[in-house]
């Protein structure tokens, strides 16, 4: 932290940072990694969990092998941020308020910090269908682009009744010739145009609800039992019931939202509220780990350009005079210490 904000009465002071990242997923940690390595005092406040933490295996991330779980992946990233001099705190941020001086006060269950810039990397949660269901990652999946590869030449289901479910089912025909849409007894909600597309593709629509499930010894799905007494074998499939975006903090700050519930951002993650950035799955675009990491990196770079001390502008030099040697480097003692000790262990 760069300083403490206190009144000298001996009570614990509120820690002050240049950057506070809310959420410890791939996007938030990437933003924190960049701001920390670019010499800005940074804190990540993470409640734990999240979609990436649920990954049994990590897919589509260059340099990360399949045997790395989501928790291992995020744990390594958190350690990197700390090794470079950032702080990582386990807590749930419940409120963010703008201070009179323009900074932001973040309050959690047991944490309170002040920051010049805030990055929201709080993501969303997938709407889960009703059980019976296989374990997430072992027959129940939410990301086609992450997991379609493992279902090549396998029997696949898609649960849902909307246009997205129908389209994902048809997309899966690129990987396998056995695809069923399971409506679970609910009424179809996709459009007439989508129905014509479904009719033109070799996709079966199963309307009976699932009443039972069979799993193999390793926990993977083997088959579903249906209310008409039939049993259908599946290697796995995808649930398409929508997303619940975690926008409570953004809404309280009056950040603009898109019609789909995501936060409106520019190309660098800046929201409609000056000083507030949003990255990752809470913003529009593909919900992919590498995409989220890229969004976090871009936000980190943008924040650095806003906060870096040097070079001074001509206006600043004319008002304040030349930069003295004693004024550089523009980095806090904490980041300096971390940089000097980095790699010593």
Mean of per-residue pLDDT scores for the chain:
94
> If you count them, how many residues does the chain have?
345
CB 237 within 8 A of CB 156: yes
- Whether 230 has a pLDDT exceeding 80, the answer reads yes
- Whether 88 has a pLDDT exceeding 70, the answer reads yes
Round to whole Å and give the CA distance between 46 and 89: 6
Round to whole Å and give the CA distance between 285 and 281: 8
Quote the pTM value: 0.93
Round to whole Å and give the CA distance between 206 and 69: 33
- Whether 66 has a pLDDT exceeding 60, the answer reads yes
CB 121 within 8 A of CB 296: yes
3-state secondary structure of 116: strand
CA angle 295–296–302, rounded 5-degree value: 90
Return the pLDDT at 206. 98
Return the pLDDT at 50. 85
Q: Using 50, 70 and 90 to split pLDDT, how confident is the model at 2?
A: low
Ramachandran region, residue 247 (left: φ > 0; alpha: ψ -120 to 50; beta: rest): alpha
Round to whole Å and give the CA distance between 227 and 261: 35
CB 44 within 8 A of CB 86: yes
CB atoms within 10 A of CB 329: 10
Return the pLDDT at 6. 57
Report pLDDT digits (tens) over 172-191. 999 999 999 999 999 999 99
- Whether 5 has a pLDDT exceeding 70, the answer reads no
- The token duo for 171 is 């997309």
């Amino acid at each position: 932290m760069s300083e403490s904000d206190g009144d000298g009465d001996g009570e614990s002071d509120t820690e002050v940072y240049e950057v506070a990242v809310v959420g410890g997923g791939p996007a938030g940690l990437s933003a924190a990694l960049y701001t920390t390595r670019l010499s800005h005092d940074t804190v990540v406040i993470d409640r734990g969990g999240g979609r990436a933490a649920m990954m049994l295996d990590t897919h589509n991330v260059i340099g990360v092998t399949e045997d790395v779980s989501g928790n291992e992946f995020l744990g390594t990233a958190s350690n990197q941020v700390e090794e470079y001099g950032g702080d990582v705190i386990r807590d749930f941020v419940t409120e963010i308020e703008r201070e009179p001086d323009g900074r932001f006060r973040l309050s959690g269950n047991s944490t309170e910090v002040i920051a010049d810039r805030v990055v929201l990397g709080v993501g969303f949660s997938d709407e889960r269908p009703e059980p019976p269901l296989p374990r997430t990652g072992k027959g129940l999946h939410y990301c086609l682009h992450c997991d379609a590869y493992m279902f090549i030449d396998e029997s696949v289901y898609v649960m849902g009744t909307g246009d997205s479910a129908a389209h994902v089912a048809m997309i899966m025909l690129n990987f396998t010739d056995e695809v069923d849409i399971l409506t679970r007894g609910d009424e179809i909600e996709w459009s007439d145009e989508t129905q014509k597309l479904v009719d033109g593709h070799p996709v079966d629509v199963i309307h009976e609800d699932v009443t039972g499930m069979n799993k193999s010894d390793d926990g993977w799905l083997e088959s579903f039992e249906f209310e008409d007494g039939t049993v259908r074998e599946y290697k796995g499939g995808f649930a398409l019931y929508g997303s619940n975006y975690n926008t409570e903090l953004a809404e309280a700050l009056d950040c603009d939202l898109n019609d789909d519930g995501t936060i409106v951002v520019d190309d660098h993650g800046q929201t409609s509220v000056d000083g507030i950035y949003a990255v990752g799955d809470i913003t529009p675009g593909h919900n992919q780990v590498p995409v989220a990491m890229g969004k976090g990196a871009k936000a980190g770079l943008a924040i650095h350009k806003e906060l870096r001390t040097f070079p001074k502008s001509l206006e600043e030099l004319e008002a304040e005079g030349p930069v003295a040697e004693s004024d550089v480097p523009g980095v806090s003692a904490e980041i300096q210490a971390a940089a000097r000790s980095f790699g010593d262990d």
